Structure 1
């Protein structure tokens, strides 16, 4: 019975569409893994955090005790080094006090104090000597009778004594806050008899009770051997507890509390760590994360294998579409799929084949259309230019300049002969000559027109598209110098640039408006996309300029395609420069 239901379920999955297969398969896989991970985390994480924080509480307490012990070992080392130095022994053996060298001895003692974070010290001798490291930090008495103190016998017997409080027997007055006082006996190393004592006065904040390891939400309290609180990290005073961590509530928060005694000082350090802290996870918890990561990797590779079945053909279709966009239609995608993906691949293959057929037909139509447009352009140029030239000839005849009128007629005849040539291409030299003939005619109309035509000898015989230079020059004169007053200059420069030809037509006319430049750039884009010209031009003059430039650019683009570079640079009041860069074509 179960097998039948499984077969029905499998059949239903196969009938699902591509999108539903992807969503159902990937979603089920990841949801299952997430549920397993959450269940494991819920059972393991809390226990692991509790064990980790208990262990860190013990570690923190132990490190704090070690830190305190190290500091007192440094104090002991400095105290015994000073007390049993030759100069200290010599001072304490004198019967008449310190005498000569008092300030030198104080300076030496001050240097020794600076070695221990500037903790002040004082030496009292049985012979009445009082030698402090500084006379400003503590209100010292001149003499200190150790034998009269309750701890005198222990100190004189060679035992170190530690006191805590506002008062001390060697102070003249009570201090504002409690200090820690450490007494060291000084014995004569010749006969081991008591000859004085060395005393430290320590403010509690100068002792570092915290470990170097950083823990958040930690509390510290230090008790001396009598249970008196010496130091607490904040307003909470922790009671002395057991060495093993126990849970305790402080201000509504759960802490692990542990205590440990420092054998060197007899003090007890009690620390508390927040039981919910997540810092420094234990090795077991890290292994849990590794396990979850392994499950995640398994899920990733499983999902990757499942998605490859779906995404591999989609990627192939995407790449094919990119090639089609780049005009590459020699494409056939292998198809082994029988679902929607298979239909998609078949559709792309059929579409590519149909486009190839249409392109071949369109190529033939474009060639015919290009020839027709070229012939129409020739017919468009001739009547307009003929009218202007006849007007010039008429003016010359009326002015009695018959020779000049004859010269204009000769130039006009040469230009018409060039126009009647049925070829679509001509050499660069022929284009230059044709432009010179036009300029010679137009100079009779525009007085003071200066021209400059330069062409490298190496490219004069190379072929380019016909009717490029003369229409550009005519466009510069017609639109650049219409309102020009003063010197007018038109220059044409053709240069050899290796495997390309660079042509520049420049004038110092009125320039173009930014709006006109934008429209010309849009015109170039429209020609590249095969979009017909717009009819809603602003003025007749601007419309003629754009039509003329469109005719030139369209013929160049049909001939040279994407290898054509056609740039327009202009500045109002200064002129216009049109730069054309085309590949070489040998004649």
Structure 2
């Protein structure tokens, strides 16, 4: 069972590892190169098409501007024409109408884009019929009363002489008998002397004629849209979009921003290529649109060639990888066979690798290693003997504290048997103090064990001072399981007893207060002893702040335990600790320390 399991879980040979690492690397490299090339080619095609579309949009808009400027010039001619001024000033004068007809007929012959002209009078006392003419001759128009009820009439008056462009479909036209959709220029004609509004001229352009002109230059895959300054589609290669709002187009987001951005030449869209041009003369916008997918079909040949190159390069990389891996792994196989014989105890093994490359140096190092191993066997054997002797001495050293514990326990039991309860408790406290102080060689003990140690110590001192010593310990239950350095509190308690309570001839009191919150442990040891002189207190606190020991002379040796505790805390928890002493002569001393501690209790800085 074990042999079959070893065969199944046997790791791949080095040759296969090299093969499985290098071959995919070549494949990924080729794929990235081919993909990047395809991306650059497609980006270049899209940019060229976008630029061509923009040129188309600009050319179409230039045509519209030419027609619009010609219409504006024509309306200005009507304002300056004597026949126009006479027609608006007289009522039903056949001679004036005939003269105006003759002059306008000549002009309209040279303007193939303009189909109709209508002139309405604004004089309420002039009841003549509107003057209308088209390429075929005299035409008819709807009465002024009907025209005055249209929104175009109100827009024209509000423009006060500026041209107003509008789209009129067949069912809302002002040209009687003409059912073609027209783009209309409407403008107020003023009196040449007083500049008072005298009439309204309407110039009509067949939308179909304009569409025929720009469709000559538009490819079959392109769509073109002519949009006025209010977002109304005046003309489109797809007539279904005519007279709709541009915000309904699927390839425009935020059309309001487009209306106010004349310099925007392209609109970002993932599915469409949208080129834009706008006119300063009319405020119109021209959009030329084409689907990107139609353009990317041209790149299929590049895509196919890229895939074929990737496959060919991948096959070549497999062959090269297999040969290269063989050149590397064959010497390693030879080395592996020699190592197996070495494992069986044959220290005569050597390998002969030619060359000064890494494999040659590996063989040379292996030969030196075999020689060195043979030399080290005796040294290792000698070291093992020394180690066994050291372990024996360690076991012998452990007998002494156990012998001490057992002896003290026997004395305690004997005292209990003889009714010496006080002696029994003293011996038990002393035994417990030794046991907790040693703690089986542990550096960290629980806070509960540390408090038990100082209780034993204070009990022994209380027997010494009788009623002169009292103590209290306040600690929350959740802090008892925390691990702290061994002998953290005992030096502070001993300091308080020896240097604070012992010189005091009155009742002495020691209070230990412990708090634990936000992973910080705060400890205060307070006594009502004789206190510390202020000059000496300043020296001690300064030494604690500088993390340095006081000089261990006769005067400062009593306080050496304080800096020792502080340095132990710094080594374990880092410098992020607080340690301070407050004291008043004749009233007592307070030692407080705060340091970070994790929930488990042990946290190294």
Shorter-normalised TM range: 0.3 to 0.5
**TM-score after normalising by structure 1:** 0.35
Q: TM-score, normalized by length of structure 2?
A: 0.34
